[in-house]
């Protein structure tokens, strides 16, 4: 099997499986909120996990909150900030190439009376600076929402320039950043990064589904999405789970170790596939400076779903658009917003890699593409 669909989800690592078993023993079964010894022990383990997670992300423990997924983190950050900071402004800046978790939150805000200003993006998927400056110039911007690495193309946001532009024009504007596809693939230090809120996903870094992280910079105030017993300083009510938090930390430790070596390895795989696929007439839709872990390719003569199932015959797994949109069978809105024509976008397939993929797999992929062309392409 060749699994090139790691932007959708990743396989659970052995270290994560071991940590789950370790944290599901009887000594860890108590509620961390209980007053007795077992509860105190569970609380101490949980807070220890929180401290380690914060340290690896370059944040303070009180800035880290465990959630069920990155979608929950996004909803909490975007809705929560606008709910709490009504006097900060009535407008939100973003792009139409964001993940659905962000776009649906913005649609919700729009229906609630907020103004959503979408920036234009270039053919590389990056926001145009002149568009950003124009929208900031209109004033009244409470929040800006962006994605550090696009999940469909791998386009990397020039965040430093964007953040400087925003803070120079509107110092009070808060910035939410989707870091899901960046974590474990490029160095992230939240203190140096400069975003006010960030979301992360466990199952994209070889943890299990059902755990995510929300970062909220100290001093930033947001209303909670989930109300209840006031756990996690009232930010996210619900009984804390040392198991889920520990699974995230175990994965985080692995993917932040040897990050440069993994990047170099995946870069070679990406470069090889770009070269070989171009020689076979495919069009590379990911920009040249995209994160190498994502490669969006349009195969002439094959609609994306057809190519996906042809590859599946050879036990190779890829995706068409984002897994969160795939069931709707729509052409990628991300590619269309980048200026890709509809026919080319309709033939697009996303290959997404992990540090565990190999060059041998890439070469086998090319062999299978050749066989698919020979068998199915009408000449």
pLDDT digits (tens, 9 = 90+) for 32-69: 888 998 888 888 999 999 999 999 999 999 999 999 99
Region label for 137, one of left (φ > 0), alpha (ψ between -120 and 50) or beta (otherwise) = alpha
Report how far apart, in Å, the C-alpha atoms of 328 and of each of 10, 305, 321, 333 are. Answer: 22, 12, 10, 12
**What is the pLDDT averaged over residues 177-199?**
98
Question: What CA–CA distance (Å, rounded) separates 49 from 298?
Answer: 43
Q: Are residues 235 and 320 in the same domain?
A: no
**What is the pLDDT averaged over residues 12-28?**
91
Do 293 and 154 meet the contact criterion of CB atoms below 8 Å apart? yes
169 by Cβ neighbours in 10 Å (0-12 / 13-18 / 19+) ranks as middle
349-368 pLDDT, tens digit each = 999 999 999 999 999 999 99
pLDDT for res 10: 98
- 120 has a pLDDT exceeding 60: yes
Q: Are residues 91 and 200 in the same domain?
A: yes
Q: Are residues 265 and 179 in the same domain?
A: no
pLDDT for res 174: 98
Per mean pLDDT, which range of 19-28, 130-139, 247-256 is the poorest? Answer: 19-28
360 contacts: CB under 8 Å, gap ≥ 6: none
**What is the pLDDT averaged over residues 201-223?**
98
- 377 has a pLDDT exceeding 80: no
Q: Are residues 329 and 239 in the same domain?
A: no
Q: Which domain holds residue 328?
A: 2-10+258-376
Q: Are residues 224 and 370 in the same domain?
A: no
What is the pTM (predicted TM-score) of this model? 0.95
Q: Are residues 227 and 283 in the same domain?
A: no
- 144 has a pLDDT exceeding 90: yes
Strands 141-147 and 91-95: parallel
Q: How many CB atoms lie within 10 A of CB 341?
A: 10
Domain finish residue from 222, 255, 288: 255
**What is the pLDDT averaged over residues 332-350?**
97
Q: Are residues 234 and 331 in the same domain?
A: no
Domain finish residue from 255, 286, 307: 255
Active site residues: 324
User: Mean pLDDT, the chain, as a whole number?
Assistant: 95
**What is the pLDDT averaged over residues 192-219?**
98
């Amino acid at each position: 099997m060749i699994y090139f669909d790691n932007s959708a989800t990743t396989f659970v690592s052995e270290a994560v499986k071991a940590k789950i078993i370790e944290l599901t023993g009887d000594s860890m079964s108590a509620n961390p909120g209980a007053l007795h010894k077992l509860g105190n022990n569970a609380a101490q383990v949980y807070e220890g996990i929180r401290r380690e997670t914060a340290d690896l992300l370059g944040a303070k423990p009180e800035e880290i909150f465990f959630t069920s997924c990155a979608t929950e983190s996004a909803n909490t950050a975007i809705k929560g900030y606008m709910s709490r900071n009504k006097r900060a402004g009535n407008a939100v800046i973003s792009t139409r190439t964001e993940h659905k978790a962000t776009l649906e939150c913005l649609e919700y805000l729009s229906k609630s009376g907020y103004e959503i200003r979408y920036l234009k993006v270039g053919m590389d998927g990056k926001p145009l600076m002149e568009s950003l400056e124009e929208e900031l110039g209109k004033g009244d911007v409470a929040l800006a929402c962006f994605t550090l690495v696009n999940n469909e193309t791998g386009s990397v946001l020039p965040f430093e320039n964007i953040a400087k532009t925003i803070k120079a024009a509107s110092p009070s504007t808060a910035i939410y950043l989707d870091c899901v596809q960046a974590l474990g693939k490029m160095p992230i230090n939240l203190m140096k990064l400069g975003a006010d809120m960030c979301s992360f996903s466990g199952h994209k870094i070889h943890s299990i589904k059902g755990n995510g992280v929300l970062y909220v910079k100290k001093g930033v105030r947001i209303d909670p999405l989930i109300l209840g017993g006031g756990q996690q300083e009232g930010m996210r009510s619900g009984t804390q789970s040392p198991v889920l938090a520990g699974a995230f930390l175990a994965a985080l430790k692995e993917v932040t170790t040897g990050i440069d070596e993994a990047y170099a390895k995946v870069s070679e795989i990406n470069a090889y596939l770009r070269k070989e696929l171009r020689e076979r007439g495919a069009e590379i839709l990911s920009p040249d400076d995209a994160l190498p872990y994502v490669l969006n390719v349009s195969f002439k003569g094959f609609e994306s779903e057809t190519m996906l199932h042809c590859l599946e015959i050879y036990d190779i797994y890829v995706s068409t658009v984002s897994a969160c949109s795939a069931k709707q069978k729509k052409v990628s809105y991300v590619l269309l917003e980048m200026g890709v024509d509809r026919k080319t976008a309709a033939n697009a397939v996303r290959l997404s890699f992990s540090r565990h993929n190999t060059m041998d797999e890439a070469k086998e992929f090319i062999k299978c593409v050749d066989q698919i062309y020979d068998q199915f392409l009408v000449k």
